[in-house]
Structure 1
Amino acid sequence: MELFVVHSTPGRDMDLVKATLPDHLAYQKQIEAQGVLFLAGPVSDATGEEMQAQGMMIYRARDMAAARAFAEADPMHSAGARSFEIRKWLVNEGSINVSVALSGQSAEFS
Protein backbone atom coordinates (compact mmCIF):
# COMPACT_ATOMS: atom_id res chain seq x y z
CA MET A 1 0.00 0.00 0.00
CA GLU A 2 1.05 3.54 -0.71
CA LEU A 3 -0.04 6.82 0.87
CA PHE A 4 -1.93 9.56 -0.97
CA VAL A 5 -2.70 13.07 0.26
CA VAL A 6 -6.03 14.57 -0.80
CA HIS A 7 -6.47 18.34 -0.46
CA SER A 8 -10.17 19.19 -0.51
CA THR A 9 -11.46 22.70 -1.21
CA PRO A 10 -15.06 23.83 -0.82
CA GLY A 11 -16.97 25.29 -3.74
CA ARG A 12 -18.91 28.52 -3.49
CA ASP A 13 -22.12 26.93 -2.23
CA MET A 14 -21.50 26.52 1.50
CA ASP A 15 -25.12 25.39 1.95
CA LEU A 16 -24.31 22.39 -0.27
CA VAL A 17 -21.17 21.72 1.79
CA LYS A 18 -23.20 21.78 5.02
CA ALA A 19 -25.96 19.62 3.53
CA THR A 20 -23.43 17.03 2.35
CA LEU A 21 -21.48 16.90 5.63
CA PRO A 22 -23.40 13.99 7.25
CA ASP A 23 -22.91 11.77 4.18
CA HIS A 24 -19.25 12.81 3.97
CA LEU A 25 -18.65 11.89 7.62
CA ALA A 26 -20.40 8.54 7.17
CA TYR A 27 -18.20 7.86 4.12
CA GLN A 28 -15.07 8.78 6.08
CA LYS A 29 -16.11 6.35 8.82
CA GLN A 30 -16.73 3.62 6.24
CA ILE A 31 -13.35 3.93 4.51
CA GLU A 32 -11.61 4.24 7.88
CA ALA A 33 -13.13 0.87 8.86
CA GLN A 34 -11.87 -0.56 5.54
CA GLY A 35 -8.33 0.57 6.35
CA VAL A 36 -8.24 3.18 3.58
CA LEU A 37 -8.49 6.40 5.59
CA PHE A 38 -5.36 7.00 7.66
CA LEU A 39 -5.94 10.58 8.85
CA ALA A 40 -8.33 13.39 7.94
CA GLY A 41 -9.42 16.80 9.12
CA PRO A 42 -9.65 20.52 8.46
CA VAL A 43 -6.60 22.63 7.66
CA SER A 44 -6.07 26.18 8.91
CA ASP A 45 -5.18 29.31 7.01
CA ALA A 46 -1.54 30.47 6.87
CA THR A 47 -1.75 32.08 10.33
CA GLY A 48 -2.83 28.85 11.98
CA GLU A 49 -5.70 30.71 13.60
CA GLU A 50 -8.63 30.32 11.19
CA MET A 51 -10.17 27.12 9.91
CA GLN A 52 -11.41 28.06 6.44
CA ALA A 53 -13.10 24.85 5.29
CA GLN A 54 -9.97 23.46 3.63
CA GLY A 55 -9.53 19.77 4.32
CA MET A 56 -6.87 17.11 4.02
CA MET A 57 -7.18 13.35 3.97
CA ILE A 58 -4.49 10.72 3.80
CA TYR A 59 -5.49 7.47 2.12
CA ARG A 60 -3.83 4.08 1.95
CA ALA A 61 -4.31 2.67 -1.54
CA ARG A 62 -2.58 0.34 -3.99
CA ASP A 63 -2.08 3.08 -6.60
CA MET A 64 -3.14 6.55 -7.74
CA ALA A 65 -6.19 5.23 -9.61
CA ALA A 66 -7.53 3.51 -6.49
CA ALA A 67 -6.89 6.59 -4.33
CA ARG A 68 -8.63 8.80 -6.91
CA ALA A 69 -11.63 6.44 -6.92
CA PHE A 70 -11.94 6.78 -3.12
CA ALA A 71 -11.74 10.58 -3.36
CA GLU A 72 -14.27 10.73 -6.19
CA ALA A 73 -16.69 8.53 -4.19
CA ASP A 74 -16.62 10.94 -1.25
CA PRO A 75 -20.09 12.56 -1.21
CA MET A 76 -18.52 16.02 -0.87
CA HIS A 77 -16.72 15.50 -4.16
CA SER A 78 -19.37 13.50 -6.02
CA ALA A 79 -22.05 16.09 -5.14
CA GLY A 80 -19.82 18.93 -6.36
CA ALA A 81 -19.69 20.56 -2.91
CA ARG A 82 -15.90 20.35 -2.90
CA SER A 83 -13.11 19.81 -5.40
CA PHE A 84 -9.88 17.96 -4.68
CA GLU A 85 -6.28 17.51 -5.68
CA ILE A 86 -4.45 14.29 -4.94
CA ARG A 87 -0.76 13.52 -4.64
CA LYS A 88 1.23 10.39 -3.88
CA TRP A 89 3.17 10.79 -0.64
CA LEU A 90 6.51 9.03 -0.25
CA VAL A 91 7.20 9.10 3.49
CA ASN A 92 10.94 9.06 4.20
CA GLU A 93 11.36 10.61 7.64
CA GLY A 94 9.52 11.05 10.91
CA SER A 95 7.97 8.93 13.61
CA ILE A 96 4.55 8.21 15.02
CA ASN A 97 3.93 7.46 18.67
CA VAL A 98 0.55 6.10 19.68
CA SER A 99 -0.72 5.54 23.19
CA VAL A 100 -3.82 3.38 23.56
CA ALA A 101 -5.59 3.13 26.90
CA LEU A 102 -7.85 0.11 26.61
CA SER A 103 -9.74 0.60 29.86
CA GLY A 104 -10.12 4.32 29.18
CA GLN A 105 -11.06 3.67 25.56
CA SER A 106 -8.78 6.42 24.32
CA ALA A 107 -5.89 6.87 21.95
CA GLU A 108 -3.35 9.65 21.67
CA PHE A 109 -0.88 10.55 18.93
CA SER A 110 2.32 12.42 19.61
Structure 2
Amino acid sequence: MPKWTEYKRIAKERGALALELYVVNTVPAGPDVDLPGTLPDHLAYQARLEAEGKLAFAGPVSDASGENMTGEGMIIYRAASLEEADALAAADPMHSRGVRTYSLRRWLINEGSFSLSVGLSTKAVDFS
Protein backbone atom coordinates (compact mmCIF):
# COMPACT_ATOMS: atom_id res chain seq x y z
CA MET A 1 0.00 0.00 0.00
CA PRO A 2 1.59 3.32 -1.01
CA LYS A 3 2.03 6.19 1.43
CA TRP A 4 -0.45 9.08 1.11
CA THR A 5 1.91 11.44 -0.74
CA GLU A 6 2.93 8.68 -3.16
CA TYR A 7 -0.71 7.82 -3.91
CA LYS A 8 -1.49 11.51 -4.46
CA ARG A 9 1.39 11.77 -6.95
CA ILE A 10 0.21 8.64 -8.78
CA ALA A 11 -3.37 9.95 -8.94
CA LYS A 12 -2.19 13.26 -10.44
CA GLU A 13 -0.01 11.44 -12.98
CA ARG A 14 -2.98 9.41 -14.21
CA GLY A 15 -4.99 12.61 -14.68
CA ALA A 16 -7.18 12.52 -11.59
CA LEU A 17 -8.09 15.77 -9.87
CA ALA A 18 -6.20 14.76 -6.70
CA LEU A 19 -7.68 17.61 -4.68
CA GLU A 20 -6.77 17.15 -1.03
CA LEU A 21 -9.35 18.26 1.51
CA TYR A 22 -9.79 17.36 5.17
CA VAL A 23 -12.79 15.56 6.66
CA VAL A 24 -13.86 16.05 10.26
CA ASN A 25 -16.35 13.63 11.77
CA THR A 26 -17.76 15.30 14.87
CA VAL A 27 -19.87 13.58 17.54
CA PRO A 28 -21.46 14.72 20.81
CA ALA A 29 -19.12 14.23 23.75
CA GLY A 30 -21.95 12.80 25.84
CA PRO A 31 -25.71 12.75 26.35
CA ASP A 32 -25.81 15.86 28.54
CA VAL A 33 -23.75 18.27 26.44
CA ASP A 34 -25.16 21.67 25.50
CA LEU A 35 -25.37 21.37 21.71
CA PRO A 36 -28.13 24.02 21.35
CA GLY A 37 -26.31 26.50 23.59
CA THR A 38 -23.07 26.17 21.64
CA LEU A 39 -24.70 26.16 18.20
CA PRO A 40 -24.75 29.96 17.63
CA ASP A 41 -21.00 30.29 18.27
CA HIS A 42 -20.30 27.18 16.19
CA LEU A 43 -22.30 28.57 13.26
CA ALA A 44 -20.57 31.96 13.52
CA TYR A 45 -17.20 30.17 13.44
CA GLN A 46 -18.29 28.17 10.40
CA ALA A 47 -19.48 31.35 8.64
CA ARG A 48 -16.10 33.01 9.29
CA LEU A 49 -14.21 30.02 7.88
CA GLU A 50 -16.53 29.95 4.86
CA ALA A 51 -15.81 33.65 4.21
CA GLU A 52 -12.07 32.93 4.49
CA GLY A 53 -12.37 30.08 1.96
CA LYS A 54 -11.35 27.43 4.49
CA LEU A 55 -14.75 25.71 4.84
CA ALA A 56 -15.86 23.66 1.85
CA PHE A 57 -18.93 21.90 3.30
CA ALA A 58 -20.46 21.27 6.71
CA GLY A 59 -23.65 19.87 8.14
CA PRO A 60 -25.34 17.20 10.21
CA VAL A 61 -25.42 13.50 9.37
CA SER A 62 -28.17 11.04 10.23
CA ASP A 63 -27.89 7.85 12.18
CA ALA A 64 -27.39 4.59 10.27
CA SER A 65 -31.14 4.27 9.62
CA GLY A 66 -31.18 7.61 7.82
CA GLU A 67 -34.16 8.68 9.90
CA ASN A 68 -32.81 10.25 13.09
CA MET A 69 -30.66 13.23 14.05
CA THR A 70 -27.99 12.37 16.58
CA GLY A 71 -26.03 15.62 16.84
CA GLU A 72 -23.26 14.18 14.68
CA GLY A 73 -21.83 16.16 11.81
CA MET A 74 -19.28 16.28 9.04
CA ILE A 75 -17.06 19.22 8.16
CA ILE A 76 -14.86 19.47 5.08
CA TYR A 77 -11.96 21.93 5.32
CA ARG A 78 -9.66 23.42 2.72
CA ALA A 79 -6.28 23.68 4.44
CA ALA A 80 -2.60 23.66 3.54
CA SER A 81 -1.85 20.69 5.80
CA LEU A 82 -3.32 18.13 8.15
CA GLU A 83 -1.94 20.20 11.03
CA GLU A 84 -3.76 23.33 9.84
CA ALA A 85 -7.01 21.37 9.45
CA ASP A 86 -6.57 20.01 12.97
CA ALA A 87 -6.11 23.54 14.32
CA LEU A 88 -9.30 24.64 12.52
CA ALA A 89 -11.25 21.74 14.03
CA ALA A 90 -9.80 22.26 17.51
CA ALA A 91 -10.80 25.95 17.46
CA ASP A 92 -14.45 25.17 16.65
CA PRO A 93 -16.46 26.11 19.77
CA MET A 94 -18.13 22.69 19.73
CA HIS A 95 -14.71 21.07 20.15
CA SER A 96 -12.88 23.70 22.20
CA ARG A 97 -15.68 23.69 24.81
CA GLY A 98 -15.83 19.89 24.97
CA VAL A 99 -19.36 19.64 23.55
CA ARG A 100 -18.21 17.40 20.70
CA THR A 101 -15.18 15.30 19.94
CA TYR A 102 -13.80 14.85 16.45
CA SER A 103 -11.69 12.70 14.22
CA LEU A 104 -9.83 14.09 11.23
CA ARG A 105 -8.74 12.48 7.97
CA ARG A 106 -7.31 13.52 4.65
CA TRP A 107 -9.63 13.13 1.65
CA LEU A 108 -8.36 12.99 -1.90
CA ILE A 109 -11.05 13.90 -4.41
CA ASN A 110 -10.35 12.19 -7.71
CA GLU A 111 -13.70 11.67 -9.42
CA GLY A 112 -17.24 13.00 -9.41
CA SER A 113 -19.23 15.98 -10.58
CA PHE A 114 -21.62 18.63 -9.39
CA SER A 115 -23.89 21.19 -11.01
CA LEU A 116 -24.22 24.83 -10.11
CA SER A 117 -26.82 27.19 -11.50
CA VAL A 118 -26.81 30.89 -10.63
CA GLY A 119 -29.74 33.11 -11.61
CA LEU A 120 -28.24 36.56 -11.97
CA SER A 121 -31.46 38.59 -11.96
CA THR A 122 -33.26 36.36 -9.47
CA LYS A 123 -30.21 35.79 -7.27
CA ALA A 124 -31.23 32.15 -7.13
CA VAL A 125 -28.59 29.48 -6.62
CA ASP A 126 -29.08 25.77 -7.18
CA PHE A 127 -26.37 23.28 -6.24
CA SER A 128 -26.77 19.60 -6.94
TM-score bracket for the superposition, by shorter chain length: over 0.9
Q: Percent identity?
A: 53
User: How much is the aligned-residue C-alpha RMSD, in angstroms?
Assistant: 1.4
| Per-residue Cα deviation, 1:39-65 (whole angstroms, up to 9, x for no partner) | 100001112111211100100000100
Name the count of aligned residue pairs. 110
> Please, what TM-score do these two structures have when normalized by structure 1?
0.93
State the alpha-carbon separation in 2 of the partners of residues 58 and 78 from structure 1.
18
Q: Which residue in 1 is equivalent to 2:106?
A: 88
Q: AA paired with 1:30?
A: R
Q: AA paired with 1:46?
A: A
Structure 2 segments unaligned to the other structure (5+ residues)? 1-18
| Residue among 2, 19, 22 paired with 2:40 | 22
**Higher strand share goes to which structure?**
1
> Please, what TM-score do these two structures have when normalized by structure 2?
0.80
Which moved further from structure 2: 62-71 or 12-21? 12-21
Question: Larger C-alpha radius of gyration, 1 or 2?
Answer: 2
Structure 1 segments unaligned to the other structure (5+ residues)? none
Which 4+ runs in 1 deviate beyond 6 A?
none
State the alpha-carbon separation in 2 of the partners of residues 14 and 53 from structure 1.
12
Q: AA paired with 2:120?
A: L
Given that 1:44 and 1:51 are in contact with CA atoms closer than 8 Å, whether structure 2 keeps it comes out as yes
